[in-house]
Amino acid sequence: MALFDLEMIKATYAKFPARVAQARTLFNRPLTLTEKILYTHLWENNFPAQPHLRGKDYVDYAPDRVAMQDATAQMALLQFMTCGRKQVAVPSTVHCDHLIQAKTGAKSDLADALDINREVYDFLASVSDKYGIGFWKAGAGIIHQVILENYAFPGGMMVGTDSHTVNAGGLGMVAIGVGGADAVDVMAGMPWELLNPKIIGVKLTGKLSGWTSAKDVILKVAGILTVKGGTGAIVEYFGEGATSMSCTGKGTICNMGAEIGATTSVFGYDQSMSRYLRSTDRTQVADLADQIAEHLTGDPEVYANPEQYFDQVIEINLDELEPHINGPFTPDLAWPLSKFADAVRQNNYPRQLEVGLIGSCTNSSYEDMSRAASLAQQAIDKKLRAKAEFTITPGSEQVRFTVERDGILDTFDKIGGMVLANACGPCIGQWSRHSYDPSRKNSIITSFNRNFAKRNDGNPNTFAFVASPEIVTAFVLAGDLTFNPITDTLTNQNGEQVKLDPPTGFELPPKGFDVQDAGYQAPAEDGSHIQVVVSPTSKRLQLLYPFAAWEGTDLKGLQLLIKAQGKCTTDHISMAGPWLRFRGHLDNISNNMLIGAVNFFNAQTNSVYNPMDSSFMAVPDLARAYKAAGKGSVVIGEENYGEGSSREHAAMEPRHLGVRAVIVKSFARIHETNLKKQGMLGLTFANKADYDLIRQDDTLDILGLPTFAPGKNLSVVAHHADGTSDIFEVKHTYNEQQIEWFRSGGALNVIRRGIAQ
């Protein structure tokens, strides 16, 4: 652990007890863990005037550190470079994980990636070197796993440019996924604001056993809360079921908490975290945490009477919890294992399993790998063969090296498993899936976290399900989604009926972790001489220009660009997979803008009406045509618009192509903030039914902007082609500061002004 980090942890722990005491006096009641961490990290001891107003006001914080992955770091750092600072203000790291394509196996895939992405890796390495940012090379591992192994610490606060930053909640940290512009605030040493969250308590009773694992807790919670249910809330887990579970299992639960829209999830400090810190070479951190252990968890009174202190309480008995399988197409469609076979038959999900994929940032701990390997070993012993393809993505080089040393990879190999690079790979569509016909409906199952249509392999006919690594491995052996490993038998190579025993594994490697080259590169002590070069002819990197400030008037005569229907996630707005290569080039990546969104008027994707010549065009083309004609445009959407990723490209692309406002029934948190940061208008229908008023050839006026103020609705006039019009109100959640971002044309313009002064 770098000195920068250790000093920071000491400084945070030094103020922790005093801040907790202050908050307790102010509230005059026991505190949740969430409150303790939040109040410790308030910007300059800035206690909010009305601390009880959860879910209402924005509060400024000073997070301890920043993490960025390569696909979002490019935009984050392109923005940071323009803000005028010499070094980052807090420990920050970049992780090269998203840009490696899974094709033929770890070695060759990594070699290809180093070649194909050289320009981007060189850029990230030199910016990191210059500004004092730690750099984790391609092959080192997936950001969230590397953070858990090296940097997360109980009671800390972190922001990361990836929605699954929340993974670090497994080590007791309030870790929040943000867009790059938010990361720039923190790296620039400015206050970072967050909507004061509600707090959902999840009480875990009983103990995990048999086939059930930590993943099933979050699969179950996703079924209860749905993809929207955690919006604006931090989820705090507690109870005997929490303390008896491994630290990495807690990480899995927090990781997939992104799928319920939660701001983040967190567990209190306990022995499992201490064990994990010590086994990952951070005895010093564990010792420091032990000294203030009572503050690093919720007060006992809170956990004894959770209904009094949480906004909502969910109780799950782990003794009764079944393994779950969620999907297809959405992570909250939760099926208990005992009901899944019927669900497959009744809904005509393709029953034959083609590929099972384990690993990823969600489920690649030593425990996960050893439990899945125990099933693979049973297959060998009981003469079973894998009936589906099987891939394994280790989360980090440290885990990979250790599981290789312990023979686990060898066991997977024996049942035909293919080990992929320590990277995102198929989880983010970086998967050159072979031998399949894209027009045929087919099923895959992963131990990842998201399963939106087309996400893994770009194919809308792929039905993707999500489960624990153990269940995925069992299904790979059966090749059939109607298999229930708890009750059913399989026919082995001798024609005998055999049953799988429940998986077993190790929380931590009995012989300790080991690694030869973890893949870390420390930054220069003084980076002022380092030049960061971006070629003006590059297809992959482009320096940013400041967006124009607001013109000071109402916005009139805006054109409807698209009225999106149904689910519109960031994967629909700015697809990943092949487009990841343009993440550092705003103009080029803008060619994917909203190409996955379904047009309400013709139920097609990437086909929208151009009233200028009555043709149908691709969405980015129409936006460019409006822009060329000097016209602004508007995007209309439905519920939880922008769900999923933290990628700010989903906000910057529309900004770049002249979209002025996004008006929807509701937003996902990170995306709404990203729109605000880029100086756009993110508005919601005051009356959701007004969505129905919007017609294909409308022009829209947004009124009330000269008196734009917090809590005050704006109004929209929709002018229809037949000469009639409708007027309706739209709500917003902008505070004074955010209105200033809008007026200035983006938050970065405000930061630049501040640093220049």
> Under the rule (CB under 6 A), what is the footprint of ligand MIC?
71-72, 98, 162-164, 177, 428, 450, 576, 644-647
Tokens of 519: 């893949």
Scanning 139-147, 194-202, 213-221, 623-631 for contacts with ligand SF4 by CB under 6 A, the matching segment is 139-147
Per the annotation, the verdict on 613 as an active-site residue is no
Query: Which x/- pattern, by CB under 6 A, does the window 97-126 give for ligand SF4?
Result: -x----------------------------
* Residue-wise DSSP of 421-466: PSS-GGGGT-B---S--TTS-EEEEESSS---TTTTTS-TTEEEEE
Cβ-based nearer residue to ligand MIC, 75 or 242: 75
Spatial CB neighbours of 562, under 8 Å, sequence gap ≥ 6: 594, 597, 599, 608, 619, 635, 636
Exposure of 712 by Cβ count < 10 A (0-12 exposed, 13-18 middle, 19+ buried)?
A: exposed
Spatial CB neighbours of 439, under 8 Å, sequence gap ≥ 6: 461
Per the annotation, the verdict on 144 as an active-site residue is no
Per the annotation, the verdict on 538 as an active-site residue is no
Cα distances (Å, whole numbers) of residue 592 to 196, 573, 652: 34, 8, 12
Pick the closest to residue 127 from 63, 77, 185 (CA basis).
77
| Under 8 Å between Cβ of 475 and 343 | no
Catalytic residue among 645, 646, 666, 744: 645
Query: Which x/- pattern, by CB under 6 A, does the window 349-388 give for ligand SF4?
Result: -----------xx---------------------------
d(CA 398, CA 306): 38
Find which of ligand MIC, ligand SF4, none residue 71 binds, CB within 5 to 8 Å per kind.
Answer: ligand MIC
CB of 179 to ligand MIC, least distance (A): 9
Among 164, 250, 371, 655, binds ligand SF4 (CB under 6 A): 164
d(CA 585, CA 435): 33
| Under 8 Å between Cβ of 728 and 687 | yes
Find which of ligand SF4, ligand MIC, none residue 647 binds, CB within 5 to 8 Å per kind.
Answer: ligand MIC
Cβ-based nearer residue to ligand SF4, 137 or 144: 144
Catalytic residue among 583, 647, 656, 719: 647
Scanning 51-59, 138-146, 655-663, 679-687 for contacts with ligand SF4 by CB under 6 A, the matching segment is 138-146
Amino acid at 529: H
Catalytic residue among 54, 98, 400, 732: 98
Catalytic residue among 97, 109, 185, 299: 97
Phi first, then psi: give them for residue 355, nearest 5 degrees.
Answer: -140, 140
The most distant pair of C-alpha atoms in the chain lies apart, rounded to whole Å, by: 79
Among 149, 162, 457, 648, binds ligand SF4 (CB under 6 A): 162
Cβ-based nearer residue to ligand SF4, 121 or 269: 121
Q: Tokens 């086994």 — which residue?
A: 279
CB of 161 to ligand MIC, least distance (A): 7
CB of 97 to ligand MIC, least distance (A): 9
Exposure of 312 by Cβ count < 10 A (0-12 exposed, 13-18 middle, 19+ buried)?
A: middle
CB of 645 to ligand MIC, least distance (A): 3
Cα distances (Å, whole numbers) of residue 530 to 87, 358, 503, 542, 554: 12, 40, 52, 19, 45
Find which of ligand SF4, ligand MIC, none residue 72 binds, CB within 5 to 8 Å per kind.
Answer: ligand MIC
- Cα dihedral 63/197/165/73 (nearest 10): -60
| Under 8 Å between Cβ of 224 and 262 | no
Among 448, 475, 601, 691, binds ligand SF4 (CB under 6 A): 448
Per the annotation, the verdict on 697 as an active-site residue is no
Cα distances (Å, whole numbers) of residue 222 to 258, 337, 356, 461, 624: 10, 15, 21, 24, 39
Catalytic residue among 54, 65, 371, 450: 450
Q: Tokens 């997979």 — which residue?
A: 577
Per the annotation, the verdict on 118 as an active-site residue is no
CB of 104 to ligand SF4, least distance (A): 19
Cβ-based nearer residue to ligand SF4, 640 or 749: 640
Q: Would you count residue 142 as binding ligand SF4 (CB under 6 A)?
A: yes
Helix (H, G, I), strand (E, B), or coil: what is residue 477?
helix
CB of 258 to ligand MIC, least distance (A): 7
Among 424, 467, 564, 716, binds ligand SF4 (CB under 6 A): 424
In terms of DSSP bridges, do strands 608-610 and 598-599 run parallel, antiparallel, or are they unpaired? unpaired
Per the annotation, the verdict on 400 as an active-site residue is no
Among 194, 427, 659, 700, binds ligand SF4 (CB under 6 A): 427
Cβ-based nearer residue to ligand SF4, 98 or 752: 98
Cβ-based nearer residue to ligand SF4, 163 or 374: 163
Find which of ligand MIC, ligand SF4, none residue 360 binds, CB within 5 to 8 Å per kind.
Answer: ligand SF4
Amino acid at 35: E
Residue numbers of the site for ligand SF4 (CB under 6 A)? Answer: 98, 142-144, 162, 164, 360-361, 424, 427-428, 448-449
Catalytic residues: 97-98, 162, 450, 645, 647
